[in-house]
Amino acid sequence: MRRVEGVAEGRRFLSNRRSPLDSELPESIRASILKNFGKELSAIDVAERIISDVKASGDAALSHVSEQIDGLALKFIEVSRSDIDGAAGQLEQVTLEALQLAASRIEAFQIKGRPESWYDDSTNLGERVTPIGRVGVYVPAGTAPLASTVLMTAIPAKVAGVDDLILCSPAPGGDLPHPAILAAAKIAGVDRVFKVGGAQAIAAMAYGTETIPAVDLICGPGNVFVTAAKKLVFGDVGLDGIFGPTETLVIADDTANAEFNAADLIAQAEHDILAMPVLITTSAKLADAVDAALETQLAERSRALVAREAIDSNGAAIVVSTPQEAVELANLMAPEHLCLTVRDDEQYLPGINSAGGIFIGEYSAEVLGDYVAGPSHVMPTSGTARFTSALSARTFLKHTPIVEIDSGKMIEIGRHAAELARLEGLDGHAEAAEIRLRELVGE
């Protein structure tokens, strides 16, 4: 793993990270774009064309794009209720038990954090908390069925009180999405499932087709074209976020278990060659031990080629002098996952203010967060943890202020509103207050 010495070099390394849509597309994808569209296009350009087609032609565009890009004939779009209900029977019992355990822990966590409406009788002010009407979940289906993502997105929405929850997930090489996807959808309370993927699924959920209803908010991860489509439809529909490749930052000191640290870095690096695995440590000796453990463990991993490229291209071991320097760099990176394996976490934790999720201690493995800990694994990437949070029930709730002013309070505060309105040159605003004051107290 690349070695970076000192906080200044660490800042330089972390500041070079690009946004998810700025990375150059792999040659194979560029060739596919040229073949399908007749010219070289960016991911945004491709998504824009697909969205335009879906808006214009609905289901017909979904079928055309699916066959053109994915080589899949879309014989039908909606998965039947009987197929959803029967999917669990196709899974091993141990798999079903794992899904059910994860679901129960996710639900319990989300219930604890769900905001409630409030009203203060002493001030006659309050806030109504109401769920979004219809939500669309997107779950990709590349090399493996991401059943956990169904749970991690749909259950928070249901806990929030969303009544109408749909799911789009492709069915590569088959007539139906993987049975684990469908079983997870049933467990999570998804209402309807559509076997559509890619930017076309995002377009369909944003604007609606003859079969797929338009939603109010779209959530879930996806490839660069899904990400581009989400960015383009934002404003017409709400989003959980714009997600880039996964990131893990491990902060460790000389007491940390190097084997554990290496395993956590590989666990995220194996997702994608663009993944970003970073170690920050106050111990050069620990950095050496993690390097050695990486080599040993990579030799045994089935996705070693992907993980190694991510580590070599985007990873680093940054050696700093103090916990304070480690915290400074952690906040600069604002990572999706932050694993804290140190002697005294209180030297670090109070200063950390930008991370998607924090995993404290040797046994709080980030992989537990991916599947069964409880919080959603849909977390902000690409530094967006500086201003946004992990997906939760709060993502699917609207907060509406309530103002109920009586005549006495109008007399008390109305003239101040009028004063500020006249300061801003808005005499119509001022009159809306003063006409009431005149009725109450005269000229």
The residues that are catalytic are: 336-337
Q: Assign residue 177 a region: left if phi > 0, alpha if psi is -120 to 50, beta otherwise? A: beta
Query: Which tokens is 414 given?
Result: 């109305």
Give the whole-angstrom CA distance, residue 290 versus residue 292: 5
- Rounded to 5, what percent of the chain is helix, strand, coil? 50, 15, 35
Give the whole-angstrom CA distance, residue 52 versus residue 32: 20
How many C-beta neighbours within 10 Å does residue 22 have? 11
Residue 35: partners with Cβ closer than 8 Å, 6 or more residues away: none
For strand 192-194 and strand 78-79, is the pairing parallel, antiparallel, or unpaired? antiparallel
Contact, 135 vs 157, CB < 8 A?
A: yes
Contact, 307 vs 279, CB < 8 A?
A: no
Per DSSP, the residues of 194-259 read E---HHHHHHHHHH--SSSPP-SEEE----HHHHHHHHHHBTTBEES----S-EEEEEE-TTS-HH
- 73-81: list long-range contacts, CB under 8 Å, 24+ apart: 74/195, 74/196, 75/175, 76/195, 77/194, 77/195, 77/196, 77/209, 77/211, 77/212, 78/192, 78/193, 78/194, 78/195, 78/211, 78/212, 79/176, 79/177, 79/182, 79/193, 79/194, 79/195
Instruction: Determine whether 393 is exposed, middle or buried from the number of CB atoms within 10 Å of its CB (0-12, 13-18, 19+).
Output: buried
Phi, psi of 317 (to 5 degrees): -110, 110
For residue 144, the SS3 value is coil
Give the whole-angstrom CA distance, residue 88 versus residue 182: 8
CB contact burial 156-174 (16+ within 10 A = b; e otherwise):
bbbbbebebbbbbbbbbee
